[in-house]
Amino acid sequence: MAIRAVLFDLGDTLWHFPVLPPREKIRNETVRRIFTLLRSWDIEPTDELRFLGRDIRLAVVKAERTAYDGDCISAHYPTLIGQIAASKGLELSPERAEQLWHAWNLGGIFLGRRLLDGAIEMLEALRDRGYTLGSVTNRSYGGPKFLEEVDELGLGQFFDEITISCDLGYMKPHRKIFEHALNALGVEPEETVMVGDSLRADVAAAQALGMTAIWLRPPNPREELDGYRPDFVVEELREIEQLSCFRPGTQSSA
């Protein structure tokens, strides 16, 4: 069956964080945002509330790791943040828990997010050749504000679907996150290529559903190839459009 669509991971596939701000700068900005929000509610950040940003970070990291190593059911992070606040004696409405979650998230621009070399050119080439493009990504922060960041980097124009784990409730490698994207694009797994940097979450999970999998090998891979067999391996994004699965005659006219 000919290829009609291409799905992309985002982090370390289309963008990365080459130089993060100093830890102290990140901490100070997090504290500033959280304290400003609390004071807007006439709550003075004293005692344990002074450590709210730190405890949110620890809880988010733990929730992400637990889900990824377990059932791949994503936490609902505003609810988690409400629980952290409650443990410090601060009872928040769902609306305020959501506000605190947004305040804690500093955003990719602040953290120095950059597109990987060749990302826009590769996406343009695939789009111009008629392929439908989408994204499937594991993230704890999604929603409209995250999509605004995607647009600010110039990526939103290319994607007909962006499936985000925290918005859907399932993380890669759970099959349901891929099935959601495939259904949204109206394509079959056999008509789809998945591109990502994770052998487990992107390559093996996509292949289990019948998709073609391209592994974008990270500069310093955290996973070994042992037991994994990507259909293609590339070192740079510019290599993707030249792969045999995208050669003229292999694309569907549908």
Q: Which of 37, 70, 104 is the last residue of a domain?
A: 104
For 107, which DSSP code?
-
Other residues' Cβ atoms within 10 Å of the Cβ of residue 197: 23
81 lies in the same domain as 156: no
The average confidence (pLDDT) of the chain is: 95
Assigned token pair, 14? 């289309």
**Are 165 and 85 in a shared domain?**
no
Single residue among 81, 104, 127 that ends a domain in this structure: 104
Give the number of domains in the chain. 2
Same domain, 137 and 216: yes
**Single pTM value for the model:** 0.93
In a domain, 67, yes or no: yes
Residues 45 and 139 in one domain: no
For residue 244, pLDDT over 70 is answered with yes
Arithmetic mean of pLDDT, 211-228: 90
The fraction of the chain above a pLDDT of 70, given in percent, is 97
Domain boundaries, position 61? 23-104
pLDDT above 90 (res 248): no
* Angle ∠(33,35,36) on CA atoms, nearest 5: 65
**Is pLDDT larger for residue 220 or for residue 160?**
160
Q: In the listed set 77, 104, 131, which residue is the last one of a domain according to the structure?
A: 104
pLDDT at residue 230, as a whole number: 97
Output the pLDDT for position 254.
Answer: 33
Q: What is the rounded end-to-end Cα distance, in angstroms, of the chain?
A: 11
Predicted confidence at residue 85, as pLDDT, reads 97
pLDDT at position 69 over 60 = yes
Q: Is residue 252 part of a domain?
A: no
Q: Are residues 70 and 183 in the same domain?
A: no
